[in-house]
Structure 1
């Protein structure tokens, strides 16, 4: 783990058992190290049916599993529920990033996270999604709190994982671990829009599976 001297983190109500929804290894690496340093008993819940194509999904999941196993952190591999995700995204295909499609996507993933937490005795849930500067933290927190509100005595931990240098350590850990470096949010519509932007700038489209943190000083 990092040599950084971290402050002790205390989950809501002083609970020590947390279910961490993880979107990928780069985003969760700092969150995991921060919780480990504070003695928090946490489990990773990987439920991300938005990620497309399956090759990309497997790359992100396998990197997350590798890092979890390296530190003996329990990892729950949930269903790759793409049919349900596309059904819920119907009519939102051209919505912009951070719009209502993203809200739907966060809701879907956090609803499943909260259900698993309820069924397995986790009083607190949180997510690594908020550490990314590309995400709207208020949007993520609203979705997390909404999912947790369906269950008595469950709380969504709205901790700002970016603060105190967290966003910078996320990159440092990713380079140290040589994580796979995804270049778009995850869904097919994000991939479409990101590629369109790149082509308009005279750049190549994304090549899935080719870029890793630390390659060519990325």
Structure 2
């Protein structure tokens, strides 16, 4: 296993209380451990109504709860609210990944996160979404800044969790903890498009609940 030295983290304004929007355990594992190492008092906010179907949603959420409990980190389980997500996605069903449907999705999730932060006294919010190489960091940061704009005293932390070895640590933590390894972004349209691509290249279709990271794959 490779050893990395994490940089010291300083949230905006030197604040030490942060609300972390988490999309899943693999993406948030490094973010969580990095903030703990820097002495940041944070709470996880799990609001991801995009994840489909229900079994996939529960697998991702339960893995995140397990890891939060392991570290003694508070976990806010927000409503699933999938009907609202589908209503907002109407007309965007065939938009590509990183397009306007993803912007809508990030906006929706961050708006709810920002509201909770405002109502519960968090001066800073951030998200684990940006650590994934499949995501557009500028798109995510723009959604984060829009979400906090209505609330005076609330900041969105635009930290690049990929830098300084963060992406490598994310994978190592996932293997160490043997997290569930999701094979698509999360929404039903991502599942559809990923399976379509797999058919085109002769790969098997996604089997929900089958693939997990393995400790044996650690260097």
Give the TM bin, normalised by the shorter chain.
over 0.9
Match in the other structure for 2:8:
8
Separation of aligned partners in 2, 1:142 and 1:88: 19
Q: Following TM superposition, where does structure 1 have runs of at least 4 consecutive aligned residues deviating by more than 6 angstroms? A: none
Match in the other structure for 2:132:
132
Query: SS state of the match for residue 189, structure 1?
Result: helix
Match in the other structure for 1:150:
150
Match in the other structure for 1:194:
194
Separation of aligned partners in 2, 1:134 and 1:6: 22
Match in the other structure for 2:112:
112
Matched, 1:25 2:20: no
Q: Which runs of 5+ in 1 are unaligned?
A: none
CA drift at 1:150: 1.1
Tell me how large the CA RMSD over aligned residues is.
Answer: 1.4
Separation of aligned partners in 2, 1:28 and 1:3: 19
Q: Which runs of 5+ in 2 are unaligned?
A: none
CA drift at 1:6: 2.2
TM-score norm. by structure 1 comes to: 0.97
CA drift at 1:110: 0.0
Matched-pair contact (CA < 8 Å) for 2:6–2:164 = no
How many matched pairs? 217
TM-score norm. by structure 2 comes to: 0.97
Q: Which string of whole-angstrom CA distances, capped at 9 and with x for unpartnered residues, describes residues 41-98 of structure 1?
A: 0000000000000000000000000000000000000000000000000000000000
CA drift at 1:216: 7.4
Match in the other structure for 2:172:
172
